[in-house]
A and B are shown apart, each in its own frame.
Chain A
Amino acid sequence: MLLPELEYIRPATVAEAIDALAAERNARVLAGGQTLLNALKLRIVHPAALVDVSRLEELRQVAEEPDGTLRLGAALTYDELAGNALVRERHAVTAAMTSRIVDRQVRARGTLGGNVCLGDPTSNFPPLLVALDARLVVQGPAGTREIAAEQFYLAPYMTALEPGELLTEVLLPPLADGEAVGYESLQVGIDSWALARASALVRVQSRDGNGSGTITAARVALGCGPVPVRQPAMEAALIGGPATRDAIAAAAKLAGEAFDPPADVHATAQYRTAMARVMARRAVISAATTKEA
């Protein structure tokens, strides 16, 4: 299919990109283009210009802060993320999830920033970033600000990005002692369309080899709803409880809070909610029984 007429702009620096976005109010940021180009082909978005940030070296770095926070450039491709030694070492679940996004061609082009900013309910990263309490660094004409992932998603395809702003980095806080991450998806076919996703960050104290111990912290986020949502009731039920399958299963019955998933050709809302609970439970179990944490 063919795109509408548009202007293509390839700035050389982030500053130039910000200028280009400021100059043309109806401009869109183009990174990997693995979703945006489809939207353009279907002519459901009508930008006058595309600002291609995919080559900006400033957006393609992985750096570690002294406190262990990872700074991930927004234009890193999935391949680059999944293959990055620091990411693999510090956030193995994130790396593994990233290495299974859609297919190799998409992973070669698609970017972290694109996935984050699209705000597609089925996207891989949003529930993960909410569970990890990631922060998003955005730059605009007014300067730089940080937004918590949890605050970033307002509605499907709507984020807290203001016009003219560009996501530059994703900050992943380090995992504390005893913390581990779980990520689970239910998909149509292998690595295809997602019906339900959940991610969990769980801290277990006096963990033994069988994964038992006490859960002292938990952040659980569901994906595939309008926006990724934390599950405070489930989290509260987990915290202070034993890290056993039964206890986690009992807590997971409380998942689905403020979830409100869509009903569409892929699944009903009822099924999505039920599956979100299953994925939430599995994600927590997976995190709580990770031995490396």
Chain B
Amino acid sequence: MSATRIETWQSPATRPASVGQSIPRKEDGRLLKGQGQFADDVWMHRMGHVHFVRSPYAHAEIVDVDVSKALAVEGVYATLTGEEVRQLTDRYTQIAPEPGGRAKDFAMAVGKVRYQGEPVAAVLAESRELARDAAALVEVEYARLPHVLEAVQAADDESPRVHTEMGSNVGWHGVYDFGDVDWAIERADHVVRIPRLHFHRFSSTPLECNAAVVNWDPGTGTIQIDSNNQMPQFAALFMAPALGVRSDQLMFRSQDIGGAFGLKLTSYTYLTALALLSRKAGRPAKWTEYRHEHLIGSCHGNERTFLDIEVPVMADGEILGFKANAFDDVGAFMRYEPLGGVIFSQVLPGCYRFKHLQVDYKSVVTNKTPVGPNRGYSRLQHLWLVERIVDLVAAELRFDPVELRKRNYIRRDEFPYTTPNGCVYDSGDYHAMLDRALELVDAPRWRAAQQAAEGTGKRIGIGIGSTLDSGTSNFGQARIINKNLPFSGNGEAAICKIDLQGEISVALGTVPQGQSHETTTAQVVADVLGVTPGEVLVRPGADSARNAYVAFSGTYASQFAVTGIGAALGAAERVKADLLTVAAAVLESTPDELLLVGGTVSVEGDEDRALTFAEIANYVYANQGALPPEVADAVTLNHRHVYRAPFGVPDWKSKSGSLTLTYASQIHVCVVEIDEETGQTRILDYSAVDECGTPINPQVVEGQVHGAAAHGIAAALQETLDYDEDGQLLNGTFWDYHVVSCPDTPMFKTDNLPCPSPFTPTGSKGMGEGGGAPLHAVCSALQDALRDTGAVVTDSHNPTERVWRLLNGDERAADGGRGIAVTSR
């Protein structure tokens, strides 16, 4: 891969360098005053309110839907049933090839329901209260079908079929095989075998639920969608063919989004239903999801079960690699899947120099809520596997977990490092990061405390989580799961312009949800144009009519600092070139003699010869006759730029190639204390060392680190989405889904050790998702605390009762053994 720095970035000596400063956020003013505009804040004249009728069953045939009683209620404008959806739309395009691609996926349940909470019918009424009251009058007759709730079981041919037309519940199956793991197992000094590890289902539950107002205007055909969907063009790719409309009829708009974490990406099913209701009733249709609906009916993070893990290890601690069978539970519909089936392979060996890797991966449908790409998507599940492997190898073979990691980490001088599957890790220094993370918690102090705690009823454990946050995906990797998908590369678009009186503005294709894009974009653009960030208006939110975009525009997969910033930077450079062209003509100078300082273009060494941006704008907008024609024709002060990440097309046959551009890394150290009597776990200390290249705004970077750390801790100890035997979600409200609160989280100790990326415009790397480091670190710390009990931490979720059972020897493998075996030569 070639390094593609934009050369102009390096130069201007006069640059006041806003980049690298923790300037206060531009977003904050309105958000702090309650002046943000979120999706539920949008009200339209004549709009109706939607309530969805949802399936009470995990799997059932829909025998009959009778909406007549609801329709008879005064004030009910329209209803919509799955059967109508089937008539009015085409099934959604699937990313999955066959057999997963054969699934019939519509905006609402058609023919049968496949998970509890699936929308079956909808009511549009004059008030939200009335819509809910009337929805209670919709009568649905079901005939229950046998269901399947667990991926390994669902993959069995004898299991009930979630989608009959798929012929199997395995929507996609692929084997990633690099090096020669069987040979490695043969020659290794030790082989550690772990029969089963389970990564649980949870969701980062953005505080704002899904919401939208959709208005299908019959006059123009415009379908105005004011929503908090986080990736509108991606939604349009699915919605336009399903609705049979032009993609440019779908006009997405948003301003502020109350968090998304990947979970507001697949809301297009609901947006489709709202569009149909709006068309039917001839009025805007508004829907704001209740939290209960969000938990049962939007999407969850991927649950993954790993079976038959084998790890060849040499006597000196060199881990040669591993093999594992992964069963990814994607819930009732494939939708964004099986992208998870390739995205994990961006970090196939984790932070390690493993050479022999084999993962047999199945995307399996079950009668549970569909999954969506939750923060750390697909990498965190895999990285958790890798970190469990390293910890269990350390525990079983009595290596020091720190030394074992250092023995196997990729070394600083090996970057750019090409993994066995062809991914190129751009930069990093994992050894230094681990040292720093241990230093931040003063690890020796905790080792002493651990000793001192023995016999007191408390146990202390120290754990490590080393992870990667791969960012800027090469969409060509989609071909690895479906060779017919015509995707490759990645990019982002932005528009930079200077307006009538010299005002600078930027419109982004990204749709941020708290990631501070207005601020960091202003910093970068300000530096290019020689002004302060305060002078750069970055227009918030999505607007299909206003903003530039590419198909994969959006905020996801830790990429903004590369793609979004790259686009804004490029657009600003083009505007700068226009400024220089006009100024050179008017000032009778040449562009290379000119300086941009404080909103003025002046001749270097002769500062009296100068034009303000306002004066230049006046020439371009209102005084073109005064410019030489060749200049007037060449400048616009309004530029769209597309940043293109330097990717080729990966090889779908070998499942290898450069899948992501940057590899931010995080190394976390967690110290836990377990109360032996109850299993209650407290975090006593926590450090998070981050590396994401050159930070544009260090405070913003640190904020993302905190957020990702809290999500991981929450998932490791409190948050889980569990189903009972009937397929009923047991955590359908925030009473049962135990979101972490302020007293539950520690004061994270953070540091950042930048290793600039050689591959990106600013040396920055995408970041923010994190690689689920706290899940790994908490499990690792629990394992350490339990070290003399023989217990094995095999689940990513460890609430008090599970810890208590581990302590009491209750969490045994099916055969009653410890569930882990070592063979040594």
Contacts and interface: CB of A to CB of B under 8 A. Distances in A.
Complex A–B touching at CB under 8 A: yes
Interface of A: 1-2, 4-5, 38, 42-43, 103, 186, 188-193, 195, 264-268, 271, 274-275, 278
B718 A190 contact: no
Nearest to B810: A270
Interface string B123-148: 00000110011001000000000000
B292 A268 contact: no
Interface stretch (B161-169, B641-649, B740-748): B740-748
Nearest to B801: A271
B678 A190 contact: no
B800 interface: yes
A268 B801 CA distance: 8
A267 B801 contact: yes
B83 interface: no
> What secondary structure prevails in chain B residues at the interface with A?
loop
Given A1-B290, A4-B133, A271 B738 contact: no
B290 A5 contact: no
Given A195-B800, A271-B804, A278-B678, A190 B132 contact: no
B722 interface: yes
A274 B736 CA distance: 21
Contacts, number: 54
Contacts of A265: 722, 724, 730-731, 736
Nearest to A103: B741
B735 interface: yes
Interface in B98-138: 128-129, 132-133, 136
Interface residues of B, number: 29
Nearest to A282: B677
A42 B133 CA distance: 12
Nearest to A43: B136
Contacts of A266: 736
Contacts of B738: 188-189, 192-193
A267 B736 CA distance: 11
B731 A186 contact: no
Nearest to A274: B804
A255 to B, nearest CB: 13
Contacts of A278: 677-678
> What secondary structure prevails in chain A residues at the interface with B?
loop
Contacts of B290: 1
Contact of B735 (A193, A267, A275): A193
A190 B128 CA distance: 35
Contact of B292 (A1, A188, A189, A195): A1
B669 to A, nearest CB: 22
Nearest to A268: B801
A281 to B, nearest CB: 9
A186 B682 CA distance: 13
A22 B680 CA distance: 47
Interface string B705-748: 00000000000001000101000001101011010110110000
Contacts of B136: 43
Interface string B250-294: 000000000000000000000000000000000000000011100
Given A5-B129, A195-B801, A271-B801, 7 more contacts: A2-B129, A42-B733, A43-B136, A189-B743, A192-B738, A195-B800, A278-B677
Closest A-B pairs by Cβ, 4 of them: A265-B730, A190-B743, A271-B801, A189-B744
A186 B133 contact: no
Given A1-B292, A189-B738, A264 B730 contact: yes
B502 interface: no
B75 interface: no
Contacts of A267: 801
B799 interface: yes
B730 A188 contact: no
A2 B132 contact: yes
Contacts of B291: 1
B234 to A, nearest CB: 30
